[in-house]
Structure 1
Amino acid sequence: MSGWRRIYYNFLELPLKLLVKSKVIPADPGAEAGLDPRQPMMYVLPYNSKVDLLTLRMQCLKQGLPDPLTPLHIDGITLPRYVFIHDGPRALSWYAEKTQSVLLFHNYLNLHRSNPALDVQLVAVSVMFGHSPGRELQSSQPAPQLLRLLNSIEKFFAVLWLGRDSFVRFSRPLSLLYIATEHGTDKSIAQKLARVARIHFARQRLAAAGPRLLVRQDLFNKLLASKSIEKAVEDEARSKKISMEKAQQNAIELMEEIAADFSYEAIRLSDRVLSWTYNRLYQGLHVHNAKRVRQLAEKGHEIVYVPCHRSHMDYLLLSYVLYHQGLVPPHVAAGINLNFWPAGPIFRRLGAFFIRRTFKGNKLYSTIFREYLVELFAHGYSVEYFIEGSRSRTGRLLDPKTGTLTMTIQAILRGGNRPITLVPIYVGYEYVMEVATYAKELRGAAKEKEGLWQMLRGLCKLRNLGQGYVNFGDPLPLATWLSQQVPQWRDSIDPIEAQRPGWLAPVVDDIAATIMVRINNAAAANAINLCSTVLLASHQRSLTRPQLLSQLACYLELLRNVPYAPDITIPNSTPEALLSHALTMNKFTVEQDNIGDIICLSRDQAVLMAYYRNNIQHLFILPSLVASVICGRPGIAYLQLHQRIMLLYPLLKAELFMCYNKQQLLPVIDSLIAELARQGLIETREMLLYPAQTRLHALQLLAASVSETLQRYAITFLLLRANPQLDRGTLEKESRIMAQRLSVLHGINAPEFFDKAVFSTLVATLRAEEYIVDTGDAINEKVSEMCDILSELITPNVFGTIEGTSLLVNGPVIAALPAR
């Protein structure tokens, strides 16, 4: 590099060091992007911008990557280590180099032809100042010369205004040796490389900033002109006997209620506020598998984020995480209950569009909402909605609500160009501020209406929130899924009218269930939910420190050696470190005596901690069931154990959205048996399974995790055995009454123990598994077989209470029921 150019770069680098503080995507380019600093490396940038080049250089030096300003010397030939694909905006346009990407690519390819051992990594790097996509304008574009000047000025001010909101994004390297070997070294190959790079950068820009924002009034006008809304307006006028003008005004008011008013400046401001807030509230935010989403966005997929719903914090946290992953924040479907001042206007500017709890009886509203969603997809916006419909009060996943998912598939049936992919997301916390409120609601308290006062009270409660987790699950491309399940689905495409083909409802139900399973497959185990799982399994909700540490070690080894699913995340800390961190969250009480520490949960705190246990209950329910069967029937044969678990598993699968099918289940059971034996919890004698007496307490603690679930099953099955003709509604109601009674008599602290939704799912599963036939009657043989199995797995005093109460309930209550 010449001396004058070095002076120029040094002069320009001084203000950049003060103004620019860029984020690197991915956070570790070496590990996540696969960059090898030991191999020759060439950087490819989209625009001829010295600001971008020097911003890249600062990050390369921080990351231990080769300096882009240092040329490569290969076989006596000196070549630049960077190249610009095409011209672009520059603050100092009088100093410019002619872009020579094709020539430089060709020179590098020729080097590989003469040197077979050489392998230069071609690394595409995007440098972005801000995420703003701009807005669509009706006016014509300015002249090219004026546009060039405006772009140069814009770049200058972008550094001043957005220097601390900049991103340097490294792509995976492309092997020039592979290109030269497989495709040759002709100039045409170099030209193709340059063309592919242009497409790559355009996709990256779209993934990070999104499409240009529609002017809100233009969006409304476009919606009003759609055939579906025109027809819905006509029907509104006719059914309500009002004028067309009044019906159209009603439609506009509904659009105003629903539509987001996305603002990039609001996003930037909220990022500053949330960064400050999260750094003080959270001890860390852990994000896993974001690479999947970036790859989908770069391939041009329309992304629909489908997270679980734990807290009001979810809305902000996911948008914040996506923004810091270099992706455009999505338009978020938020409950209409959040549309109050000042939260509503703020959320709307951050991309929220509002949805009513029910569309029933309002055709105009449902049509407008569906067409608005279709327009978001058609224009290329990413969308987020909570498939559970509301926040989980129990910590488990709720049964999915399929209305918005149905509209998503109907959008595909409008014949859009971009593929739509659902991305399930597990969101987890070590502290959820609404947990105490959830417990009250489960015990019958009325839900408080969201408003300014409640929001202020919530903000006052914010304190140490521990760790937060956002795990992106296995994406589900809708077109691929439909092609596999409904090969003829394209016959239903209609570019104008929303279609409801006969296959739609069952396919939507299958997709919804699959999404829930994939959310659970990405669960995050952490110090709080692990410690809660252990302590709540103890009858007295207390353990000595050595007992608690030993059980934590057991659970960690189970997760690591027999992982539930590839996407779950497991702490890499020791049990001692996990317990120390959990104690800093002030959820547990430490009592001391002359022997040592005892870790305890008070009764009130145990009710709250059940929420966190339930976040990961599906990870341990199967090993717990294996332990429970062995404890309940010492000396059981493998075949008998398999049979019992195979009978119980469909109930667990439906309740907890578990991932194993019947073919996968037996190998998993055998792996769990082997792991429990390896840990010394069980032993095999003459091909029979026994609890190991030396670690009996640890095995019993593990078995206790499934006890409450089995007790609920026993309630329903014993009711059915006492009266096989119970109809579904009565069975659910009486099961809940018995569960409430049992919780009082035996000190069961979990509020979800008598939750209506749990028994509703159980009774529906009994019908699906043919314990109850279509006529509504129970099959006595199957019900009795399950009752016999459950009697072995539940302590005699609890089972006796359930059995006695079921006979009492089936006396006066059933006698009063009308005959069928």
Structure 2
Amino acid sequence: GARSHPAPPPVQAELAVGPLPPGPRPSASAASRGPWWAPLLGKLLEPWIGLTIEPAAPADLVDPRPVCYVLEDYGLSNALVLERACRQAGLPSPLRPLPGDPLGRKRAYVALSRRNAGSTLNRAAQLAQNKPAPPVKRHSDSLARLLQAHREDPALDVQLVPVSIFIGRAPDKNSGWFSVLFSENWTLVGRFRRLLAILLNGRDTLVHFAPPVGVRAAIDEALPPERTVRKLSRVLRTHFNRIREAIIGPDLSTRRLLIDKVLASDTVREAIADQARREKGGKGEQDAWKKAHGYAYEIAADYSHPVVRSASFLLTPVWNRIYRGVLVHHLDKLKADAPGREVVYVPSHRSHMDYLLLSYLLYTHGIVPPHIFAGINLNLPVVGTLLRKGGAFFARRSFRGNALYAAVFREYMAQLVAGGYSIEYFIEGGRSRTGRLLPPKGGSLAMTVRAYLRQPTRPVMFQPVYIGYEKLMEGRSYLDELTGKPKAKESIFGLLLGIPKVLRSNFGQVVVNFGEPILLNDMLATHAAGWDGSPVAEDEKPAWLAETIDAVAQRINVNVNRAADVNPVNLLALSLLSTPKHAMGESDLLAQIALSKTLLADVPYGERITVTPHTPEQIIAHGEEIGLLTRVAHPLGDVLSVDDETAVLLSYFRNNVLHLFTASAWIACCFLHNRRMSRQSMLRLGQAMYPFLKAELFLPWDDDGFAQRIDRTIDVFIREGLLSEVGEDGGDMLGRNAGQSDEMFRLRAIGHALQQAFERYYIAISVLAKNGPGTLGTGELESLCQLAAQRLSLLYAPAAPEFFDKSLFRTFILKLRELRLVWPDGNSKLVFDQRLDTWARDAKVILGRELRHTIEKVSPEAAARDTGAPAE
């Protein structure tokens, strides 16, 4: 049946003893060979076994005290594998007895269970024949003898080292599908199946040594002997389950059994009863149950380890063909944080490759792939089945108007959370078409938080993941959608037709960065002051719940951005898109890239940010190699450029990392239309603008933190010669060079991307001012702002497609309301006072007079739009 794995307490918490203190490593003589037959059998086994040992130096875990190893189960193959691993690691042999042989078995290892599949059947048969059945063993006899030996000999002090052995865990490009059937799982198999597993998968054997546990500490608790051995056995078994779960995943139940648990839950039964009351006819309850059953089968994943493993080595040549490498950063930190927690992966969503890539990377690095929250649009024939076998569960785009479906889906999510299944979903709701993180949608997040509050046993950890590409396979379709074409519907035929083109393409390098995790309990401690840790019923709606969910959603996006990778394409896009013709002289481009890298290095954004190690020269060469840049030779210096279509696509990659340059872009914008400005003015205006930038770009600082960042960046600008201190007021007044100097050119390039954000803000203020207070609702204002931005782009310099993205105007207007610069009246129309005029006056510092006049001219009035009059 379905098995649940609640978070196991740390070993030290159960035994009141932590890992043994570090001491000198065992002497070379301690790592002696086993009995005479061990080398012979070891030689026979050696060609079939390839070992990966974790950690890399397990001998550092132990001290000179006698070592007894603990295995999950007995078996000659396990003993031989352990013997070889200990020999390679310089550890004492498990096949040599402990001093005094307290086990009485002439060896130094014990196991918690025995590979004997028929024991339960034999017991049942004996009971059926009225024969006395043998007593059920709840623990290892050898472990009991070891404990008893410690009671009898106070000088004896053995350290127990738990060792987990996995045959056939790692994927291999030479593996066949048949070998997948015999890879490691949760079942204790017989000798013949174990032999086949070794023959087929033995080259992929993982041996995991854990920190030792002192037996003497367990004895010192002075519990009755039977209770002591039961407690120690339980702690060790919990440890093995936790390691096995981390390596190969939870003990997955069948799809049918999990669905049965969903349908048997109180919330779903109540929803079925409500549905039955609404159904007409005498079979209302039966029909409602069938409907709920159908929903559950439509939703549920059907995880298959053989399918996942097969996909892992099938995808390896695909990644090698379409990508020039996949780099992974900070995965070791995830491995350290994840054990004992319910992990919810929350990656950025920029491509259909995201979920395949993340699952593949986790699996190949020894972490179970998550169950993936997928849209029902991906449940295509064949493809949907494969995704479902890989852990995908499907959701309809909207639950509105279908209470039964909503109840079934929420309960399914709750069962996943309670059962210890790692989950993956995209809180942005869909793929970003602009390269920016989209405003988070809280539906899946709310279900996760609700599931935890209903059964707060296994702590939940949200793991942000940044996935950065150099080229997107959906780039062309994104461009079409941004220019107004409807989104193409996914189909199996479109997928099949697109495969050959994808395999012939090269999409550059991919980087996957694991960000700083977010612990749900920490967020609840901050935002849910009224929660005392007790379960919260499904129908309860605490006042703090919505605030907590919003805070977690915002933190996820902030931490995704704090794990960004800056690749060569990002740096080229930042520079080249700042010029009207998307072209730069080679020397200017080299200088601009070098400046960007200097800013990233000298004013670091976060410890998990990664930046390409390539030099500016190598970055330009890479851009030419992948067909991004066009070089035009010229006697006065070569010019590098991108065509108009490529420039639009490059705006996507500029937006990936725009948040990293917010402070430097702000300073540059201040000097685009001003020769001089005081440091204090820049800080004051920056703090005034910061709430809007923070909401749009998911920035991590408070107002004072942003001001400090501006201050540090100003110092870099002065050192680089972009600004200089002028006057005799202690360096508060800053100035730039006049005219078309190189320094001014570089300032304009830095500030260009953020300048468009301020233009959008001024459009919204201008539309509000032109229409007056109490005239426009929020939706009307969004639409008019979008029209004004589109017209501005058509009449004057073309802007990036996201310039007239309605969602960006929505974010700005929501922040205006949050700051009470505008607010709704009784008719839901927005009103404002003179503070909005003050804010608009500050914008004059950043925007030139001509641009302000143009924006005011194209800003439409609601009445003009309604009558069909020209919107100017």
On whether the aligned pair clears a TM of 0.5, the verdict is yes
Q: Distance in 1 between matches of 2:81 and 2:647?
A: 51
| 3-state SS in 1 of match to 2:824 | coil
8 A Cα contact 1:284 1:468, kept in partner: yes
- 1:238 is matched with which residue? 277
Q: Distance in 2 between matches of 1:278 and 1:41?
A: 47
| 3-state SS in 1 of match to 2:695 | helix
- Given candidates 776, 785, 789, the residue that maps to 2:842 is 789
- 1:537 is matched with which residue? 578
1:121–1:771: structure 2 CA closer, same or farther, 3 Å change rule?
A: farther
Letter in 1 for 2:42: L
Is 2:771 the counterpart of 1:729?
Answer: no
Specify every segment of 5 or more residues in structure 1 that has no aligned partner in the other structure, as ranges: 72-81, 92-97, 114-119, 133-146
Q: Could you give the per-residue CA deviations for residues 527-583 of structure 1, whole angstroms, max 9, x where no partner exists?
A: 111221121122321122222222222111211221112221222332223333333
Q: Could you give the per-residue CA deviations for residues 187-206 of structure 1, whole angstroms, max 9, x where no partner exists?
A: 99x99999976654432112
1:56–1:650: structure 2 CA closer, same or farther, 3 Å change rule?
A: farther
Within 5 Å, give how 1:519-558 maps onto structure 2: 519-558=560-599
- 2:379 is matched with which residue? 339
Within 5 Å, give how 1:350-749 maps onto structure 2: 350-462=390-502, 463-490=505-532, 493-494=535-536, 497-685=538-726, 686=728, 687=731, 688-691=733-736, 695-725=743-773, 726-749=776-799
Letter in 2 for 1:320: Y
8 A Cα contact 2:456 2:535, kept in partner: no
- TM superposition score normalised by structure 1: 0.84
1:2–1:214: structure 2 CA closer, same or farther, 3 Å change rule?
A: closer
8 A Cα contact 1:90 1:155, kept in partner: no
Q: Could you give the per-residue CA deviations for residues 270-326 of structure 1, whole angstroms, max 9, x where no partner exists?
A: 10111121122222222222233323432x111111112111111211111111221
1:399 Cα shift?
Answer: 1.1
8 A Cα contact 1:50 1:90, kept in partner: no
Q: Distance in 2 between matches of 1:60 and 1:432?
A: 47
- 2:355 is matched with which residue? 315
| 3-state SS in 2 of match to 1:522 | coil
Q: Could you give the per-residue CA deviations for residues 579-637 of structure 1, whole angstroms, max 9, x where no partner exists?
A: 33333322222222234432211110011111111111111122111122134323211
Q: Distance in 2 between matches of 1:166 and 1:60?
A: 14
8 A Cα contact 1:655 1:761, kept in partner: yes
8 A Cα contact 1:405 1:508, kept in partner: yes
- Given candidates 212, 215, 227, the residue that maps to 2:266 is 227
1:730–1:35: structure 2 CA closer, same or farther, 3 Å change rule?
A: farther
- 1:752 is matched with which residue? 802
| 3-state SS in 2 of match to 1:292 | helix
- Given candidates 785, 796, 818, the residue that maps to 1:768 is 818
Q: Distance in 2 between matches of 1:102 and 1:570?
A: 54
8 A Cα contact 1:23 1:168, kept in partner: yes
Letter in 1 for 2:600: L
Q: Distance in 1 between matches of 2:321 and 2:145?
A: 46
1:694–1:250: structure 2 CA closer, same or farther, 3 Å change rule?
A: closer
1:267–1:678: structure 2 CA closer, same or farther, 3 Å change rule?
A: same
- Given candidates 194, 202, 206, the residue that maps to 1:155 is 194
| 3-state SS in 1 of match to 2:764 | helix
1:168 Cα shift?
Answer: 4.7
Question: Over aligned residues, Cα RMSD in angstroms?
Answer: 4.2
Q: Could you give the per-residue CA deviations for residues 394-431 of structure 1, whole angstroms, max 9, x where no partner exists?
A: 11111111111111111122224211222122122112
* Bigger mean CA offset, 646-655 vs 687-696: 687-696
- 2:42 is matched with which residue? 12
Q: Could you give the per-residue CA deviations for residues 129-170 of structure 1, whole angstroms, max 9, x where no partner exists?
A: 2459xxxxxxxxxxxxxx999443333222223335544556
8 A Cα contact 2:527 2:547, kept in partner: no
- 1:141 is matched with which residue? none
| 3-state SS in 2 of match to 1:537 | coil
Is 2:293 the counterpart of 1:252?
Answer: yes
Letter in 2 for 1:152: R
Q: Distance in 2 between matches of 1:459 and 1:662?
A: 48
1:512 Cα shift?
Answer: 1.1
1:335–1:625: structure 2 CA closer, same or farther, 3 Å change rule?
A: same
* Bigger mean CA offset, 574-583 vs 263-272: 574-583
1:55–1:578: structure 2 CA closer, same or farther, 3 Å change rule?
A: farther
* Bigger mean CA offset, 345-354 vs 562-571: 562-571
Is 2:241 the counterpart of 1:202?
Answer: yes
1:773 Cα shift?
Answer: 2.6
1:67 Cα shift?
Answer: 4.4
8 A Cα contact 1:285 1:469, kept in partner: yes
Q: Distance in 2 between matches of 1:713 and 1:418?
A: 44
Q: Distance in 2 between matches of 1:279 and 1:170?
A: 33
1:41 Cα shift?
Answer: 13
8 A Cα contact 1:60 1:67, kept in partner: yes
* Bigger mean CA offset, 408-417 vs 388-397: 408-417
Q: Distance in 2 between matches of 1:43 and 1:533?
A: 59
Q: Distance in 2 between matches of 1:747 and 1:174?
A: 68
8 A Cα contact 1:287 1:470, kept in partner: yes
1:258–1:4: structure 2 CA closer, same or farther, 3 Å change rule?
A: closer
1:272–1:631: structure 2 CA closer, same or farther, 3 Å change rule?
A: same
1:780–1:723: structure 2 CA closer, same or farther, 3 Å change rule?
A: farther
Kindly, what percent of the aligned residue pairs are identical?
A: 35
Specify every segment of 5 or more residues in structure 2 that has no aligned partner in the other structure, as ranges: 1-30, 95-106, 117-141, 171-185, 223-227
Q: Distance in 2 between matches of 1:629 and 1:643?
A: 12
8 A Cα contact 1:428 1:470, kept in partner: yes
Q: Find the structure with the greater CA-based Rg.
A: 2
